[in-house]
Amino acid sequence: MSDRSLRGMRLGAQSMETEAGVEPAARQRVEYRCEDGEQVFVIFAAEADIPATWMSKTGKIAKLVNGDVAEEESNEKPVRTHWDMLLERRSIDELETILKDRLDKLRTTRGAAQAALKG
């Protein structure tokens, strides 16, 4: 039998591989600072994009210290709400007319239902 017996070993809990010859990925340590002076250090991969702000463990927003970060461009479209899209298709007068018609129809059907329950 081999001299490296697996008997009594917790398989899966411990690896039989060694870390010899394994080179970890290049990393960089980045410093952030809150307005009250709290320092936050975060480790990123060397090729990672570094964000301009980071939330500390205390929930405060920390800003990057001594970093070359491209400013975020505001080429994004503004968020369109349901109301904005509705106003692209209809005028306020049209919407008021439609609302009045729907409310009248709803009141009519409710009135008929209540009359049927009473009668």
Q: How does pLDDT run across 12-52, given as a tens digit for each residue?
A: 677 777 888 888 889 999 999 999 999 999 999 999 999 99
What percentage of the chain exceeds 70 in pLDDT? Answer: 82
- The model's confidence at residue 84, banded by pLDDT at 50, 70 and 90, is very high
- The model's confidence at residue 111, banded by pLDDT at 50, 70 and 90, is confident
State yes or no: pLDDT of 116 exceeds 70.
yes
**pTM, full prediction:** 0.43
- The model's confidence at residue 74, banded by pLDDT at 50, 70 and 90, is low
State yes or no: pLDDT of 115 exceeds 60.
yes
Q: Is 32 exposed, middle or buried (0-12, 13-18, 19+ CB in 10 A)?
A: buried
Sheet with strand 53-55: strands edge to edge: 39-45, 27-33, 61-64, 53-55
SS3 track for the chain: CCCCCCCCCCECCECCCCCCCCCCCCEEEEEEECCCCCEEEEEEECCCCCCCEEECCCCCEEEECCCCCCCCCCCCCCCCCHHHHHHHHCCHHHHHHHHHHHHHHHHHHHHHHHHHHHC
Which pLDDT value is given to residue 2?
A: 57
State yes or no: pLDDT of 71 exceeds 60.
no
State yes or no: pLDDT of 95 exceeds 70.
yes
